[in-house]
Chains A and B, each alone.
Chain A
Amino acid sequence: MLKKRLIFTLLFSDGYFMLSRNFQLQKVGDIIWLEKNYRFFETSKYIDEIIILNVDKKKRNPLEFGEVVKRVVSKSFIPVTAGGGVKCKEDAAVLFKSGADKILINTLYNSSANDVSSIIKEFGTQAVVCGIDYKKINNLTSVFTNNGQDFLGIELEDYIEKVLNIGVGEIYLNSMEKDGTGQGFDNETIKRISNKVPVPVIAAGGAGKPEHFIDVLSYSTNAAATANLFNFIGGGLKNARKFLIENGIKLPHWDN
């Protein structure tokens, strides 16, 4: 039976890992800080996937980011998805060569379907995750791209249909309003979308405590991600995992 996944999302910008709240970024620490406070090899034993996103609004150097990806994954033996600023097949290739199993593409799905298609043709649909950031505006769930800066004026479900037509492996669905608040996921929207789409959905935005994961993983949502460095530091992820398993969520089992 397919298990659910507990995912950690690392937000990276210009040398530092970041904390995000409603898409405002705050510097937390560099890779040394991460290794000291997170000891990634240890922490990665309690999660099922790592997502690393380059959220740098100014420069997006794929080679430099690739080196960060390489370093973060060098001691963890779990799937890694990398993304942020992927504009072409070459950007994607750098990330795969650095150790990424999947890449996450957000803005490109809207700005150039052809480039996304050529990436899919080369690397396979299952290797491409579409990141979608959304926010409720006047009662409509509206999609934003470009780090949450560009309002597309497209409703979430219509946008997802467009994405499905281009081709996609999974959808990373991120609530901009819940982002960083620690008050739980946008269960209503995520449940609605998960039940509707034929591809796996990863819930993102709002995780603050282990209970939040139970709510969101109790139905067809395939995986839940948190980017909250502070809430899950130290033994946080290990405890969350134990709590989820004790409460009936089927997560992968290791002979450790």
Chain B
Amino acid sequence: MIVIIDYDIGNTHSITQVLEHLGVKYLLTRNKEDILQSDKLILPGVGAFGPAMSKLITYGLDKQIKKAAQNDCFILGICLGMQLLTTVSYEDGKHEGLGLVNGEVKPFNKVIKSSKVPHVGFNSVQNHSGINILPKNHDADFYFTHSYFFSPLENIKTAVTNYEFDFVSAFQKDNVYGVQFHPEKSQSNGINVFKKFMELKC
């Protein structure tokens, strides 16, 4: 059973709409048993890292997600959800993440010189590592809206997007996936990402 984690943050309505469109059964919940029994978890996220992490901890979801990852459950973190899967974020201070993937979330405005922040709109994702839920190799367009980006500190599969420099727009570490863009907002390209995620077998 697919579980979309409900922790009061994120556009869960749009994600449920895609799953319904695909005819996939899902649970939108923060119930511990449901999470532990699921084989696929989706962690959405819109907003700021600090408040989101606090909510996860308040609901005890940080422990559940870490346990689920160890049980080889497939996890897909979307946008802020992707960032929460990592070690640390420097958005408004320094915040510890779930630590499933080693790396840091940093602000664009410390790195890019002339482009606007946030990075908003559709940009292409180059899947050089062959992450299996993304289109193969194409420059497929997906919707981004973020002011912070993830910089990995370990060797994992990554896809990149260019915004003055190549930043990691998606990663895969074994059963844990993260996408910086919003597949639920990326027309048919995004729907296909969900479809491929659903088709993953343990």
Contacts and interface: CB of A to CB of B under 8 A. Distances in A.
Interface of A: 1-5, 45, 48, 70, 73-75, 77-80, 96-102, 121-127, 169-170, 197-200, 222-223, 251-256
A181 B117 CA distance: 32
Nearest to B146: A126
A97 B13 contact: yes
A4 B120 CA distance: 10
Q: Does more than half of chain B's interface fall in helix, strand or loop, or is it mixed?
A: mixed
A77 B191 contact: yes
A125 B119 CA distance: 11
A231 to B, nearest CB: 23
Given A2-B123, A170-B120, A200-B118, 6 more contacts: A2-B122, A70-B13, A122-B51, A123-B48, A126-B118, A254-B188
Given A1-B124, A121-B48, A74 B17 contact: yes
A79 B182 contact: yes
B188 A256 contact: yes
Nearest to B187: A254
B188 A100 contact: no
23 contacts: A2-B163, A3-B123, A4-B121, A5-B121, A5-B122, A48-B122, A77-B14, A77-B21, A77-B188, A77-B191, A79-B182, A98-B13, A101-B185, A122-B48, A124-B46, A125-B118, A126-B120, A127-B46, A198-B117, A251-B122, A254-B189, A255-B135, A256-B188
Nearest to A202: B120
A1 B123 contact: yes
Interface string B29-47: 0000000000000000011
B141 to A, nearest CB: 4
A77 B185 CA distance: 5
Contacts of B115: 2
A73 B13 contact: yes
B63 interface: no
Given A122-B47, A252-B141, A200 B123 contact: no
B47 A169 contact: no
B134 to A, nearest CB: 12
A1 B121 CA distance: 10
Contacts of A3: 121-123, 141
B116 A198 contact: yes
B143 to A, nearest CB: 6
Contacts of B187: 45, 77-78, 252, 254, 256
Contact of B162 (A1, A96, A101, A254): A1
A89 B187 CA distance: 29
B59 to A, nearest CB: 17
Interface string B121-133: 1111000000000
A101 B182 contact: yes
B120 A75 contact: no
Contacts of A127: 46-47, 145
A13 to B, nearest CB: 23
Contacts of A1: 123-124, 162
B27 interface: no
A78 B188 CA distance: 10
Contacts of B185: 77-79, 101
Contacts of A169: 118, 120, 145, 147
B190 interface: yes
B55 to A, nearest CB: 11
Contacts of A255: 135, 138, 140, 188-189, 192
A122 B115 CA distance: 25
Contacts of A100: 11
